[in-house]
């Protein structure tokens, strides 16, 4: 059992059943959680993980396509 980082409810999950990067959901609050590590099992809200990825300072793929279109003109 591991606590949900959102509601602190217990999530019944076996560390051997998941890999880093997998997503699981909390039965109590329904939050979608991403597995950050497996030894020990570490979970974080999938929404927070996506927000962190967006803050890496790199342009999104859509922005790259727009810039390429502007360069072509």
50's CB contacts (< 8 A; 6+ apart) are none
This prediction's pTM: 0.64
Q: Which domains can be identified in the chain, with CATH numbers?
A: 2-72 (2.20.28.160)
pLDDT for res 14: 85
How does pLDDT run along the chain (73 residues), one tens digit per residue?
Answer: 899 999 999 999 988 899 999 999 999 999 999 999 988 899 999 887 666 666 655 555 555 566 655 556 5
Extended strands (E) in 1-73: 2-3, 10-11, 23-25, 32-38, 41-45
Nearest to 11 by CA among 48, 39, 44: 44
Centroid of chain to Cα 61? 18
pLDDT for res 54: 62
pLDDT for res 73: 54
């Amino acid at each position: 059992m591991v606590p949900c980082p959102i509601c602190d409810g217990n999530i019944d999950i076996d560390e051997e059943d998941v890999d880093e990067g997998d997503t699981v959901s909390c039965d109590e609050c329904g939050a979608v959680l991403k597995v950050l590590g497996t030894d020990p099992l570490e979970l974080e809200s999938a929404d927070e993980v996506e927000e962190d990825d967006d803050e890496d300072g790199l342009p999104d793929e859509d922005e790259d396509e727009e810039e390429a279109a502007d360069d072509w003109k």
